């Protein structure tokens, strides 16, 4: 580019020199070119019209294409030409004054209007299509395992699930729609000022608008065998029958808050230094005779009632298979006292080595004050079954008695015991 401009400047100067006997120094104009590719232009800005040719003029120019990656190893055009023996790639620049279009803001509606092209429009075009439908994924319950990796106090049954179970299917159908073509002068958003280049030869503007009077609905049924635990499974339930007698009990009776801390509890009147659960005069220290009975033992601030039933040892998971409960082993806390309890002491009257009816036993409490047990209004499900005409099935033991007057008063006349099926336990299902 620089070489072409320099030759043009010299030719003009020579023509002027031979046509005049005297050169007017004031009219002499020297043309100097400056390379600003690597110069700091200080971020100056201006109208785009100041940086382009006058588009009203018919310009047809060629330039050497400048590529930093191509020319970085050459200081001049001569270096490049001497090595390759040819010019760098050329670029053409042309203006088309006959195709200039002057637009104002008032012309926007006219120039951006899209006019339909009837000869290209296709009505009721039928195209084969398909849609893939996938079922909602879920996991099947494979087993329940005790989580031995958690802290002992946090160990629970964990669910062992299968991989995700799902299916999919492909539905094939024919879709009917219209294909409409439009033309417009300007295919881009209208601008308030400046120069807008419109090259209709590369204009590909495709907009899709789908609408239908009746939408197509796709229905498919997937069938699975699903194994899961319901939300009311025993695995998820927290035991609220803290005396384990199988029916609802109100709160235990309070005696006196001896230490005045607002909590009814069991108070040790001594420090059990040898940890044997019994006061030893020689080794244990007396704290206080809270109940004033002149006996150093434990003082109950409430009536710690038993359940009138002989209680076996609470079930536990014998991790080390040593045949006895260890403190770190998981267990089922049947009486809600947050510690493992062995079986209640009994007198084996018939000598069979097992507790049986007629044997006497010590009906102990859980050494905790038990407030009223939580319960669920079972009449709600009975009302629902009565309204829907559904059959009710009950797995015993229940947390309520069907012959209780309070229960009969609640369920009123919509409960017919003949319409209820009872199971002694879950094995009878």
- Domain extents in the chain: 2-37+45-99, 105-202, 379-428
Tell me how far apart the alpha carbons of residues 227 and 143 are, in angstroms, rounded to a whole number.
Answer: 10
Which has more pLDDT, 236 or 142?
A: 142
Whether residue 141 contacts residue 229, with contact meaning beta carbons closer than 8 Å, is answered with yes
Q: Using pLDDT thresholds of 50, 70 and 90, give the confidence band for residue 27.
A: very low
Checking if the pLDDT of 318 tops 90, the result is: no
Contacts 24+ apart (CB under 8 A), 219-223: 220/133, 220/169, 220/171, 222/135, 222/167, 222/169
* Residue 158, φ and ψ in degrees, nearest 5: -115, 150
* Angle of CA points 58, 59, 64, to nearest 5°: 170
Average pLDDT on 271-286 reads 88
Checking if the pLDDT of 61 tops 90, the result is: no
SS3 142: strand
Which has more pLDDT, 427 or 173?
A: 173
Average pLDDT on 104-133 reads 85
Q: Using pLDDT thresholds of 50, 70 and 90, give the confidence band for residue 171.
A: very high
For the chain, give the mean pLDDT: 76
Which has more pLDDT, 9 or 141?
A: 141
At 127 the pLDDT is 84
Q: What six digits make up the tokens of 142?
A: 């494979």
Q: Enumerate residues 6+ apart whose C-beta is below 8 A from 149.
A: none
pLDDT 10s digits, 351-378: 898 998 889 999 998 888 888 876 655 5
Checking if the pLDDT of 270 tops 60, the result is: yes
């Amino acid at each position: 580019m620089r070489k072409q401009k320099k030759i043009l400047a010299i030719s003009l100067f020579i023509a002027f020199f031979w046509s005049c006997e005297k050169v007017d120094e004031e009219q002499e104009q020297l043309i100097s070119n400056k390379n600003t590719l690597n110069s700091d232009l200080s971020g100056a800005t201006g109208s785009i019209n100041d940086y382009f040719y006058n588009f009203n003029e018919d310009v047809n120019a060629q330039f050497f294409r400048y590529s930093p990656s191509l020319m970085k190893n050459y200081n001049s055009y001569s270096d490049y030409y001497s090595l390759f023996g040819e010019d760098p790639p050329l670029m053409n620049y042309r203006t088309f004054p006959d195709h200039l279009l002057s637009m104002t803001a008032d012309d926007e509606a006219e120039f951006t209007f899209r006019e339909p092209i009837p000869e290209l429009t296709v009505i009721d075009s039928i195209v084969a299509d398909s849609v893939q439908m996938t079922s909602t994924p879920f996991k099947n319950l494979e087993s329940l395992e005790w989580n031995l990796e958690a802290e002992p106090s946090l160990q629970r049954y964990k669910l062992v699930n299968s991989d995700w179970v799902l299916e999919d299917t492909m539905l094939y159908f024919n879709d009917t729609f219209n294909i409409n073509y439009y033309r417009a002068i300007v295919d881009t958003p209208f601008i308030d000022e400046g120069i807008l280049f419109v090259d209709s030869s590369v204009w590909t503007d495709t907009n899709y608008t789908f609408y239908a009077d009746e939408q197509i609905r796709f229905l498919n049924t997937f069938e699975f065998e699903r194994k899961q635990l319901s939300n009311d499974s025993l695995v998820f339930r927290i035991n609220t029958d803290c005396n384990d007698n199988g029916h609802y009990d109100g709160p235990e009776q309070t005696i006196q808050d001896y230490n005045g801390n607002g909590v009814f509890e069991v108070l040790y009147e001594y420090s059990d230094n040898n940890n044997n659960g019994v006061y030893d005069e020689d080794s244990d220290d007396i704290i206080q005779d809270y109940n004033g009975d002149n006996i150093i033992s434990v003082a109950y601030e409430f009536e710690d009632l038993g359940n009138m039933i002989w209680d076996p040892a609470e079930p536990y998971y014998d991790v080390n298979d040593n045949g006895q409960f260890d403190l770190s082993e998981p267990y089922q806390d049947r009486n809600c006292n947050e510690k493992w309890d062995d079986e209640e002491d009994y007198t084996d009257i018939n000598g069979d080595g097992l507790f049986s009816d007629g044997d006497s036993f010590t009906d102990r409490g859980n050494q905790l004050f038990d407030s009223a047990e939580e319960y669920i209004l079972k009449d709600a499900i009975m009302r629902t079954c009565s309204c829907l005409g559904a059959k009710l099935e009950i797995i015993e033991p229940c947390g309520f008695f069907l012959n209780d007057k309070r229960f009969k008063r609640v369920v009123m006349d919509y409960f017919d015991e003949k319409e209820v099926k009872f199971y002694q336990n879950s094995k009878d299902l």
